[in-house]
Structure 1
């Protein structure tokens, strides 16, 4: 396991004026269990898809351990999503 860090991670879809995820700052410690809850459309799934590399990060960065994976391909991240 490794620490996961969202550092001002933002996802703005083309043609939209409102970010789906707006400057998310979150650090998940190694071995920590985290649950994301909130209403439909608040950015839960988009945040997870950004972590997995399935959605582009428009601004900010995402780190897994000490490695910046913001622009890494999904296969290079060694994580899975269910």
Structure 2
């Protein structure tokens, strides 16, 4: 069973694009919430992300992973794939 991956994005955000590119490269299916200008959605994201309002914010199986740099750091340390295996 695949992990449940969710990513909050802004359409023209280079960090969002970079994070999605890594997930795409790994063949990961994810749910994207593009929250351009939607303050209610951003507030909901911040609640889930322990107050973080920067984009992207990534969740795997409801666990907050963080942003783009956090995702890439997990991957570099070999810790992303086990999370994606569920």
The interval holding the TM-score normalised by the smaller chain is 0.3 to 0.5
Which structure has the highest strand share of the two? 1
**TM-score, length of structure 2 as denominator length:** 0.34
Higher helix proportion (structure 1 or 2): 2
